[in-house]
Amino acid sequence: MARGILRTAVSRACLVLVLSIAAHAYGDPGKDLFDKQCSGCHTVGGGDSGGPDLKGVTDRRSEEWLESIIIHPDTMAATDPARKELIKKYGYEMPTLGISHDDAIKIITWLKGGGGGAAQAGAPPADEHPEVVVTPALVAKGKALFTGQKPLANGGAPCIACHRISTPGITGGNLAVSNLSASYQKMGEKGMRGALKALKFPTMKKIYENRPLTDDEVTSLIALYKDAALTKSTPSASFFPAYGAGTFVVFLVGLTLYKRRTR
């Protein structure tokens, strides 16, 4: 058994060495994979976004742990304290992206070789967006996009098909567990922007493949979520079922009293 573990460690080290040499000779496949699969939620030196900033991650986490979280985060040990802390902080579990073992090693090698090595003090934030200023016009546009009253530019499905939001006048679907105003409170503006730009969650990935949201649409939706999170409105979806149940009870009581009076 010890010999097998040693063989695995040697094979991994050889693969990392070969990839490092290839990166210098032919460009870096790890960076290409990171840009394609990870950059929607993660930065390297630009601060937290939809997920944590990965600058210095190879100094904080073991290679085996990184492989596990990249390849199969859904089946990673539920008791893992670091994984539980990340889910608590960002409000959702990292989606399974179908990244192979070899591709995961390429990403880790790039992070280790410079992309995400030891954190550098004073590194400038990457891809910074100005904070969204909530205005009635922007919130109205966000509502129109959320409900489908205004179609998304690239033909994606409106958010209301799957999601709820705590704002008056919008009920929303129940396919997704997350309430987007609550998600905004957990993730913050930068995290929500990263999630909306990436759309990497399994169901969303299929629906929005080749149908990304525009920057203007992302900003409008963020304004809606931000406004809902700040006002902490009562979801209309929960109001109407309660109202209906109350009305039904009153109807039954009235019917009973009427029958007794008739008798």
Q: Which amino acid is at 86?
A: L
Q: Count up the domains in the chain and report the number.
A: 2
On whether the CB atoms of residues 224 and 146 are closer than 8 A, the answer is yes
CATH of the domain at 187: 1.10.760.10
Identify whether 65 is part of a domain: yes
140 and 104, same domain (yes or no): no
106 and 41, same domain (yes or no): yes
**Which pLDDT belongs to residue 166?**
85
102 and 152, same domain (yes or no): no
Q: Dump pLDDT digits (tens) for 51-73.
A: 888 999 999 999 999 999 999 88
Most confident listed range (170-179, 184-193, 232-241): 184-193
Could you please report the per-residue DSSP string of 88-113?
A: HHHSSPPPP----HHHHHHHHHHIII
Most confident listed range (53-57, 216-220, 254-258): 216-220
What is the Cα gyration radius of the chain?
A: 24
23 and 85, same domain (yes or no): yes
152 and 59, same domain (yes or no): no
How confident is residue 253, by pLDDT bands cut at 50, 70 and 90? very low
**Structural domain of residue 176, as residue ranges?**
136-241
The tokens for 93 are 């579990």
Identify whether 179 is part of a domain: yes
147 and 181, same domain (yes or no): yes
- CA–CA separation, 47 vs 24, rounded Å? 27
Identify whether 184 is part of a domain: yes
On whether the CB atoms of residues 126 and 44 are closer than 8 A, the answer is yes
Identify whether 253 is part of a domain: no
